Structure 1
Amino acid sequence: MDAHRRPLIDRTPALLAEGYAWLPNRMRETTGSVLSTRLLGRPALAVRGPRAVRFFYDESHVHRHGAVPAPVLDTLFGQGAVHTLDGDAHRARKELFLPLLEADRVARLTDHVTAAWDEAVRSWSERPRVVLFDEAAVVLTRGVCDWAGIPPGAVDAEPLARDLLAMVDGFATPGPRQLRARRARARQETRTARLVEEVRSGALAAPADSMLARVARHRDTAQGPLDSRTAAVELLNVLRPTVAVSWFVAFAAHALHRWPAHRERLRGGDGAFATAFAHEVRRFYPFAPFLGGRTVRELTWHGESVPAGGILLLDVYGQNHDEELWGDPYTFRPGRFLDRPPAPDELIPQGGGDPAHGHRCPGERVTVGLLESLAVRLARLEYTVPGQDLRIPLRRVPTRPRSGFAVTGVRAP
């Protein structure tokens, strides 16, 4: 270490206090594209920008094994999940998720979810008040379970939806939310492992090309079939991120409420605008604050270094609000994506890199497809937005409108 350089202060308490703003705030204090700091007791280097995305996803730079903190594994991803693997092991496990990259499979999942949405809307009109965040989770759960080949009688959609939401809601914070997330994961891993075992024994039928059948028969490289608990973890890693689209549905409703001029264009069925609107919701609203991995060797970026065994952070929220990339990052403007589609390493709400082989979320195409269709349905839905707390606190990770976006007087189109 340079004798004149001050020891780095651990910034974990500041992260817990500032949430999404923590890394962008620190970046503004430096050059704006790189930051040396300390996190979770380790030296850390934070980077931002399209070139930094490629640097971050280079497997010779970063490993995921051992990088994900235990509280995140025990809530969000699950022990032994694909997110913890590297190299050939990661590529072999990633094959499980390749259907999420196929356009026809994404279309079928969207069809299942929109059918569940249309059915739910009919019941909403009979209720005095509906919280869109919660209701979207049930709709998404029903749709993705149907698509995944889980028989209707094998799961109860509403408690499963609550547990899947809890896994996402509690991963980034100590206290009651994390405790609920741990309990939810343990409960659903046990139930889902039982489904896998029933498929393997022949007691439960699952379509041969369904996700349930795929996880039941999957084999890792030179190893045998996944143990039933790991198979359950990976099936939940399809269900959970699909249900996490509930956050984007609530954000889409928030955007239509704040900027109602976009409603007419969505209602008219302009597909290109629906795609642009989905991208802008994902860019503008906060979802993942950053991503991290353990450094394989000493790395240097723009003159700043981190030793082997340190942490490399990719500033997701900061990049999605980078003035150099977007010009007016704090303006909600879907038209920016009509001018040109987003480059893969520019818009990174669900990570960057190659989703087929790297660590970028393979469900990103699913998220965009679902959000396109559900945003159009939201725009066509008639409802009243009563007084409520629609603030989106940046200190809370993951955040959402505090009220979950409640509506009354729902009238089906």
Structure 2
Amino acid sequence: MDAHRRPFMDRTLPLLTEGYAWLPDRMRDSADSVVRTRLLGRPALAVRGPDAVRFFYDEAHVHRHGAIPAPVLDTLFGQGAVHTLDGDAHRARKELFLPLLDPDRVTGLTEHVTAAWDEAVHDWSERPRVVLFDEAGVVLTRGVCRWAGLPREAVDAEQLARDLIAMVDGFATPGPRHLRARRARSRQETRMARLIGDVRSKAVAAPEGSVLERISRHRDTPTGPLDARTAAVELLNVLRPTAAVSWFVAFSAHALHRWPAHRERLRAGDGAYATAFAHEVRRFYPFAPFLGGRTVTELTWHGESVPPGGILLLDVYGQNHDEELWGDPYAFRPERFLHRPPDPDELIPQGGGDPATGHRCPGERITVGLLEALAVRLARLEYTVPEQDLRIPLRRIPTRPRSGFAVTGVRAP
């Protein structure tokens, strides 16, 4: 019997119970960083390493169309999102997002978010207890909405923040979190589609060149603009990943609490160290466990095969904690990124490949820029960390400190 046709047990249920350890545990038994299994009833091949990243992002090997499970589309990305497209269609849609990576745009978003943070700190100082994960979500949402040109009267920032966080929090799990994510997406797609319609009818003015204006007029083809629902999906695909930086803010607070020596260099305003700290937070702490695509043809990697229509998985969490790449992967050391920038095929917390032409998250530069700025502000903030459950459960996807990282006695710098 062909190697790729030998029967394997489906491993979907173990994934749900083992979380981030599911794939690395199986990789540990492989000499070549490759695992053959079954997932969602389909044959799957999991790979790891810089060469595997390039293999995974080769469009001759993998397509995203039809690869993302419906529960993930209905919560995290949205039906018809850029993440579901391939080839020319993907590149055409991605043109909508690439200008947002311009350094001036990233700087502008960072300024809006840090202004929202500074406003919030004064409110936190008057409250007995603040949960940083929750409050960071509101700050990030307020900042990105102002930057994107959304009218303040059209957005309830706190409700939108709760919904954006729910979309991320419930995409990879059955049960109540998933149901909340579905309801949140449906609610916000309806609201954003209405806003897109109001912009197109000129009932609402969108600032020229703003994200809202760009998405409202974007055309994938000569026949006309995106339908209002798809435009709403893509608007949320700007807002949602920005709000998701709240996970990294909570992780940054966790790192500064566990290893307070990093606080002084951040407080001093060392820009290179802030960048290195941001990269190390993204490498060290778990976010995406793996990425997947649908195989276009029969693929073979290190002697293991998967047939057309199977699944190719890229082990993100395992690669970011691979001893061969990082030497001491479970030590939190920002210094590892001070002497050389991260290799984009080694550090892959938001995927690999070229963000301009491939499927690497185009918002990665934004995430790093926001985290640099907010880590410095967090290091300069005075507060007390009361007793709480700061464990980060690896069975929960996406995970975070169980308490959300609560602080008391906040004092503005």
TM-score, normalised to structure 1, is 0.99
Partner of 1:234: 234
Q: Which is further off, 92-101 or 65-74?
A: 92-101
The CA distance in 2 between the partners of 1:125 and 1:361, in whole Å, is 35
Partner of 2:189: 189
Partner of 2:270: 270
The CA distance in 1 between the partners of 2:154 and 2:249, in whole Å, is 26
Partner SS, residue 161 of structure 1: helix
Q: 1:282-322, CA deviations, whole angstroms, 9 ceiling, x for partnerless residues?
A: 00000000000000000001111000000000000000000
Does the CA-based 8 Å contact 1:89-1:221 persist in structure 2? no
- Structure 2, unaligned runs of 5 or more: none
Does the CA-based 8 Å contact 1:248-1:371 persist in structure 2? yes
**Cα 1:131–1:299 shift into 2, 3 Å:** same
Partner of 1:95: 95
| CA-CA distance at 1:15 after TM superposition | 0.5
Q: 1:385-409, CA deviations, whole angstroms, 9 ceiling, x for partnerless residues?
A: 0000000000000000000000000
Matches within 5 A, 1:246-285: 246-285=246-285
Matches within 5 A, 1:31-110: 31-110=31-110
The CA distance in 1 between the partners of 2:3 and 2:35, in whole Å, is 19
Partner SS, residue 138 of structure 2: helix
| CA-CA distance at 1:6 after TM superposition | 4.7
Partner of 2:288: 288
The CA distance in 2 between the partners of 1:173 and 1:4, in whole Å, is 29
| CA-CA distance at 1:225 after TM superposition | 0.6
**% identity of equivalent residues:** 85
Partner of 2:298: 298
Partner SS, residue 281 of structure 2: helix
**Cα 1:73–1:5 shift into 2, 3 Å:** closer
Matches within 5 A, 1:134-213: 134-213=134-213
Does the CA-based 8 Å contact 2:43-2:311 persist in structure 1? yes
| CA-CA distance at 1:41 after TM superposition | 0.3
Does the CA-based 8 Å contact 2:3-2:305 persist in structure 1? no
Partner SS, residue 108 of structure 2: helix
Moved over 2 A (4+): 1-6
Q: 1:105-151, CA deviations, whole angstroms, 9 ceiling, x for partnerless residues?
A: 00000000000000000110000000000000000000000000001
| CA-CA distance at 1:5 after TM superposition | 8.0
| CA-CA distance at 1:7 after TM superposition | 1.4
Partner of 1:224: 224
Partner of 2:374: 374
| CA-CA distance at 1:366 after TM superposition | 0.3
Does the CA-based 8 Å contact 2:124-2:410 persist in structure 1? yes
Matches within 5 A, 1:327-406: 327-406=327-406
**Cα 1:302–1:156 shift into 2, 3 Å:** same
Partner SS, residue 17 of structure 1: helix
Q: Does 1:17 align with 2:47?
A: no
Does the CA-based 8 Å contact 1:141-1:239 persist in structure 2? yes
The CA distance in 2 between the partners of 1:69 and 1:2, in whole Å, is 27
Q: 1:352-378, CA deviations, whole angstroms, 9 ceiling, x for partnerless residues?
A: 001011100000000000000000000
Does the CA-based 8 Å contact 1:345-1:353 persist in structure 2? yes
The CA distance in 2 between the partners of 1:222 and 1:357, in whole Å, is 21
Q: 1:14-37, CA deviations, whole angstroms, 9 ceiling, x for partnerless residues?
A: 101100000000000112511111
TM-score, normalised to structure 2, is 0.99
Partner of 2:215: 215
The CA distance in 1 between the partners of 2:312 and 2:345, in whole Å, is 17
Does the CA-based 8 Å contact 2:3-2:304 persist in structure 1? no
The CA distance in 2 between the partners of 1:315 and 1:166, in whole Å, is 24
**Cα 1:128–1:209 shift into 2, 3 Å:** same
Does the CA-based 8 Å contact 2:4-2:305 persist in structure 1? no
The CA distance in 2 between the partners of 1:4 and 1:87, in whole Å, is 27
Partner of 2:322: 322
Q: 1:236-276, CA deviations, whole angstroms, 9 ceiling, x for partnerless residues?
A: 00000000000000000000000000000000000000000
Q: Which is further off, 25-34 or 231-240?
A: 25-34
- Structure 1, unaligned runs of 5 or more: none
Does the CA-based 8 Å contact 1:101-1:356 persist in structure 2? no
Does the CA-based 8 Å contact 2:60-2:296 persist in structure 1? yes
The CA distance in 1 between the partners of 2:13 and 2:223, in whole Å, is 41
| CA-CA distance at 1:4 after TM superposition | 11
Matches within 5 A, 1:107-126: 107-126=107-126
Partner SS, residue 46 of structure 2: strand
Does the CA-based 8 Å contact 2:168-2:244 persist in structure 1? yes
RMSD: 1.0
| CA-CA distance at 1:2 after TM superposition | 3.4
| CA-CA distance at 1:99 after TM superposition | 2.3
